[in-house]
Amino acid sequence: MIFTGCGVPFHKKLDMYLQAEQYEEADEMIAAEKKSSKENIYSGKNGLLYYLDRAGVLQALGDYDNSTMLLEKADEKIDALYTKSVLDETAALLSDENAIEYRGEDFERVTVSILKMLNFMYAGNFNGARVESKKVDQKLRVFTDEYGEKCIYNEDAFARYLAGFAYEALGEMDNAYIDYKKSLETYQKYMNVYGTKIPAFVKPALLRAADYLKYTDEMAEFARDWGEIPEFTKYRDLRDKGEVLIVIHNGLPPVKYDSNTYPKYQSRGPALEKAVARVDGKEFQSETGQDIDVIAAKNLDNRIGLIIAKKAASSVAKGLLKAFTGIDMGSGKADTRSWRTIPSRFDIIRMEVTPGKKKINVDLYTVSGLARQVVLEADVKAGAKKVMPVFAFSGIVMPKFVEKK
């Protein structure tokens, strides 16, 4: 047991609860904070963060319905905040962005949809995930409209991959092909913009859909572009097997800090180096599906740069640029608000599994080696798909956190 003195900061306690897998305590703390009659973490202009933080914890608790309900409320609030003047937000950014209601970073708004998709998929509702995936398009179009051609975050590779998986589970291979292809194209863009590699699980999924649809021209094009065609299981060969997709919520998310009166993200890194699942005498290794750390940092810097560039043409450009450099800034403070219950990284393990009731052993590795093991129980059906979560905000088993009153 960890006993600590009273007065531990709210976010420090939240981190410790997440790392110790004390999700009930985290949920109770968030709910109590929101209900407090005094000014608190979620009062005033911070209302969106309550929906976000609690939704993430409820997902970890397996309460997918209530998690989705809060994410829906988050989406409604974000939509309402988008009707406010962008000019007001620009002025606030360069003086004190805390003066306006928090409406989330661009990637956070899409992550709302990603968590909703995962909630549906964890509950076996692939149709719900399909419906939610369409909202990602709408959100991404808003960013393009707002920032123009310099917008670097106008697609999301992980959301597209999840959509493709949902369509494939529903037998809609034409739509699966479209989203798998968009996912691959976006992962290629990620490589250039964020420096992340293309995960190996994308091409086989795209090839299976193309092969099923008899897209021979496209298959030939892939062979020319890639130099070779990686191995993939054809759709007909999956009829006697099931597929399990394990999504690993890896590490604590990056947090913002004040850097010369403007916000920057500080990475806390993933908790795990990798994960290995073992079932049916086979091993399957994880790959990164979405690196929130690098996406958050790059997109925040880009957003601030675009806002400055837009305002530079105005009559107050000189004053704003001076303010941004820290000269004569006055009392302005950076907005360090952020979503605290999403992971640093989403990792994926995709497995073909023989039908039946299975125990899937998942070995979790830190940079120091094997840290711990998780056992997942799955009733695998022939020709069906299942999505299961592993929450690893810490790589090692953490002792329980108990605050001394």
- Cα separations in angstroms, 81 against 47, 154, 201, 207: 11, 20, 37, 41
| pLDDT above 80 (res 62) | yes
Q: Are 228 and 317 in contact (CB under 8 A)?
A: no
Range list of H helices, 280-335: 292-312, 317-324
Class of domain 2-403: mainly alpha
317-365 pLDDT, tens per residue? Answer: 445 555 555 544 344 678 899 999 999 999 999 999 999 999 999 999 9
The torsion region of residue 330 among left (phi > 0), alpha (psi -120 to 50) and beta comes to: left
Over the range 42-63, which residues count as b (16 or more CB within 10 Å of their CB) and which as e?
beeebbbbbbbbbbbbbbbeeb
- Cα separations in angstroms, 44 against 50, 272, 304: 11, 36, 24
Alpha-carbon gap, residue 165 to 171, rounded angstroms: 10
Give the pTM: 0.92
| pLDDT above 90 (res 309) | no
Alpha-carbon gap, residue 33 to 94, rounded angstroms: 30
Residue-level pLDDT at 330: 42
pLDDT confidence of 307, banded at 50, 70, 90?
low
260-277 pLDDT, tens per residue? Answer: 878 899 999 999 999 999
Based on the number of CB atoms within 10 Å of its own CB, is 14 exposed (0-12), middle (13-18) or buried (19 or more)? buried
Residue-level pLDDT at 262: 80
pLDDT confidence of 15, banded at 50, 70, 90?
very high
Residue-level pLDDT at 58: 98
Could you tell me which of 233, 239, 245 has the C-alpha nearest to residue 354? Answer: 239
Q: 3-state DSSP call for residue 275?
A: strand
Range list of H helices, 36-150: 47-60, 64-81, 86-93, 106-122, 126-147
Domain borders along the chain are 2-403
How many alpha carbons lie under 13 Å from residue 93 in its C-beta half-sphere? 24
E strand or H helix that includes residue 218: helix 216-226
363-383 pLDDT, tens per residue? Answer: 999 999 999 999 999 999 999
Task: Give me the amino acid identity at 300.
Answer: L
